[in-house]
Amino acid sequence: MGTALAIRLLMRSRYGLALIAVRDDEMAASANGIDTLRVKVAAFAGSAFIAGVAGSLYTYYIFHVGPDSVFDLDWMLLPLMMTVVGGTGTLLGPILGAFVMYAVFDLARIVVPDYHPVISGLTIILAMLFLPKGLMRSLRAGRTA
C-alpha cells in the first residue's frame, strides 16, 4: 500500500511527468530539455530498490532461500502476468491483475491441477490477444466511449 501511494505521488510530480514524457517519446522529451539518461537511470534504480525490498520481504516470509523456492515457475511468471493482464502504465492495473490472476491460478489448481501451467499460459495468450493494453485501460476506454 505504501509503494502504491509513493508511486501515485511520484506520478503527479514534476519528475513523474518527466518519466511519462520519456516513456511516451524519448526524442521529444530530450528536445524539451529533459535529461533522458538521468531519468532512465533513476527509474531503473528506483524499480531495483522496490524489487529488492520485495525480494527481501519474500525471503523473510519463506525462511529459506534456494532454487526450489526462488525459481518456481509460478513465482517467476506471476508478476509479469499480473502486470500484463491488469494493464501496464497504470497504478491500479497490476493490482486488478493480481486479483484476476490469483483467481485464475487458484481455480486452475482446484479444477484441473494437472493442467495448471497450460491454463496460465492460455490466460496470458488470451490477454495479449483480446486485451493488449490490459483490463484497466480497456475499462477506461469503455467508460469514455
Q: What is the pLDDT of residues 42-65, one digit of tens each?
A: 999 998 998 898 888 888 887 877
**Per-residue cell: 103:** 483467481
pLDDT mean over 79-106: 83
Residue given cell 524489487 in the structure block = 51
Half-sphere exposure of 60 (CA within 13 A, CB side): 6
Residue-wise pLDDT tens digits, 94-122: 888 888 888 888 888 888 878 877 877 78
Q: Judge whether residue 89 has pLDDT over 80.
A: no
pTM for this predicted structure: 0.68
Using the CB atoms, write b or e for 17-36: b if 16+ within 10 Å.
ebbebbeeeeeebeeeebee
Numbers of helices and strands, H then E, in the chain: 9, 0
Mean pLDDT, the chain, integer: 83
